[in-house]
Structure formats: C-alpha cells, structure tokens
Structure 1
Amino acid sequence: MSSHNPIVRSDNGSSCYSSNPRTNPSSIHEGSSLKKPGGFNVEEVSNMVKGCIESRLGGQGTAYSHNSVSHWTAGIVEDVLKQLSVMNDNYKYVATCVIMERNGTGLHTASSCYWDNQTDGSCSVRWENKSMYCIVSVFALAV
C-alpha cells in the first residue's frame, strides 16, 4: 500500500503523481489517458485546478499583494474542493495552496502518502505570472 509515486509532467505546468503503470512517465505518450482505476482522473483535476487558480488570480495581469494572499489561498482551495465534490463523491479530498512572490528566492516542498495505489491519487499544479507563483496540491483518498 505504500507509494513512492513517479511524477507525470504536462505542458500546462502541472505535475500529477501516480503509480499506475498506464500513467508512469516512461509510458506516457501524446493523447494517453491519465485516468486512474476507480475514477481519479489527474488530467481532468489538473485542468479544473488551473481554472480555479485563474479565476481567483485574474489571469496573467494580477500583481502579487501580501495583503491579498490569505484571501486568494482560501478562495482557491474552497473553489477546488467544491468542484472536486461535484466531480466524484467517492473520495475524501485534501487541497493545499501556496502563493509566493516571484523575487528569486527558492521554495522546496515534499509530500509522502501511505495509501492504496489502485484507488487513491494526487495532483499538483504550478501556475505563475510575472509577480508570483501559485502551487496547488490535491490528494484524493477513496472512501
């Protein structure tokens, strides 16, 4: 049940984690499905998360504002969780959001999960503009 999942990178800046052999990075090719058995579709979730980020941050023109970050992060995770519950109610979800000013400093994150690789999954989406980075991670645990 323990997983140490490979990363599947896509052109839209997202990273999706899966141990499913069909989504192993070495076997990914154009047009392949990122749907996990049991219903967690990392490609669909990545696109939805990116839409939630863009709707809250207003596209590429929004400037980083320290005073707005807590409002933005809370709104993004709330939007993501609402949409996830509509997509599939057979999961318990955890969503995190980090917004960081783009000023040359580094950010290193890591996560580890002990779960059922056949049904559970996760996805991280990185979004950026000229003034900030936003990283949203979603963890889906089958009920």
Structure 2
Amino acid sequence: MDTTSDSKRLGAVKLSRVTFRATNRDSDPTALKNPTVAQSSRGTANVKPPPSEGSSKPTETKRPTQSISMSGLLAAQRMTLRLKNQAALRRKARARTPNRKPITIINEQVPSGSANPSQRFPYSLAKELMQEFLTSKLRNLTYDPSTTADLTKNMCEDIKKMVRRVTPPRYKLICNMAIGSKNQEDILMTSQCLWDSYSDNVTSCSFQNSTMFCVVSVFAVYFE
C-alpha cells in the first residue's frame, strides 16, 4: 500500500509537470523570466499607463481647426462697404457746411466816467497826412532863425486845417511844433497831459534835412 501510493504520487507529480510544460511551450521564453510582463501582455494593448507624478512634460491636446465659411467672408465685405459709405457721407456733409463768421466774445469796455464818442480820432491817418505835409514843405528849406517863428505859426494852422478834415465832430485839436538848427546836437521832446485816455488821443511825427529838424504833435480832445 505504501509503495503503490508512493508510485501514484510520483506519477501524478510527473504528469502535472508534463502538462505544465506542454501548455507553456509556445509562450514567449522571456515570460518565464519576467512573469509580470507576460501577464500584462495578455491585457489590452491600447490602454496607456497613467503619467507619473514626477514628469513635467505637458500632455499634447489637438486643437480643432477653424474653418472660414463663404457666408462669413461676404458678411465681412458688406460691413466694410457700409463703413466706407458712412465715412464718405460724413465728409460730404462737412464740406457742404458754410464757413461761419467769427463771433466776437469780448467787446471793448468803456471805462466808467469816460466819454463815449460815436467815432474815435483816427491818429494813424492823421500821422500819414502830417508826414507828407512836412516833407513837401521843409524838403528844400534852409534853417533861418529870423523866419522860423512865422514858419512855425503858419505850419501849425495848416496842419490843424488838414487834420480837421478827417477828425470826427466834437473834437478839439491842439498843434505843437518845434523847429531847430541841426548842428550835431541831440534833442529830446516830451509831453504830458491830463485827459480821458479812452476818448482823447495824440499823434506826432518828425522831419529833418541837412540844416534843420522839425517835430510836430497834434492832440485831439473830445468835448461833450
């Protein structure tokens, strides 16, 4: 009994060994050395292992390609044409508007206590007339002390009559003239008056030739 049982046990062991070798004959010889690799190869090959926590390589994601349709292009062209037409209409509207007259914001203020004449004394025009008169009268004259007094008096009257023609009404004119010899000396003439600086005014001019000089001033005082 003991020997048969031992023989059966040995035969069973041998049979199991032969069966084990027959089933693994066609397998990969590397699977015997690495059984874990053989087990993993029997699974699905499409499953990718999860990325390791230590790896910093970002995962590549495919972006969907953008496609431009023909209707979108036509809509963009229509919008561009509409904006161009609006800009052209605005330019035409600006060109049609007439030039506006300048608006006077600050008016000349009359000081309190001053006279307000309807027309003020034209001092620039009076100066031009006086300059032409002196040039025509004294261009060819020679200084003579004996005739200078009468010459000064007559010229003052002529200048007042001439300036009176361009002077507005209610103005009084005062003419002051000085004639002297020209002998390498310098002369300085000043005047000072107490008057209304808004309505009253003054103009002056001078002339000289090789022998004499002449300085004339005309004061215009408004009288109410």
Query: Which TM-score band applies after superposition, normalised by the shorter structure?
Result: 0.5 to 0.7
Identical positions, percent: 25
The residue aligned with 1:120 is 200
Taking the aligned partners of 2:185 and 2:132, their CA distance within structure 1 comes to: 26
Matches of residues 1-143 of structure 1 in structure 2 within 5 Å? 38-57=119-138, 59=139, 61-88=140-167, 89-143=169-223
Q: Deviations over 1:61-97 (max 9, x none)?
A: 3221112211221121010111122222321111011
How far, CA to CA, are the matches of 1:86 and 1:38 in structure 2?
A: 14
CA RMSD of aligned residues (A): 1.9
Q: Report which of the two has the higher share of strand.
A: 1
Structure 1, unpaired ranges of 5+: 1-20, 22-36
Give the whole-Å Cα distance in 2 for the aligned partners of 1:71 and 1:125.
20
Please state whether the residue corresponding to 1:87 is helix, strand or coil: coil
Counterpart CA distance in 1 for 2:155 and 2:217 is 11
- For normalisation by structure 2, the TM-score amounts to 0.44
CA distance in 2, matches of 1:112, 1:125: 17
TM-score (normalizing by structure 1)? 0.66
Kindly report structure 1 stretches of 4+ aligned residues shifted beyond 4 Å. none
Larger Rg: 2
**Larger RCO: 1 or 2 (CA < 8 Å, sep 6+):** 1
- Structure having the larger proportion of residues in helix: 2
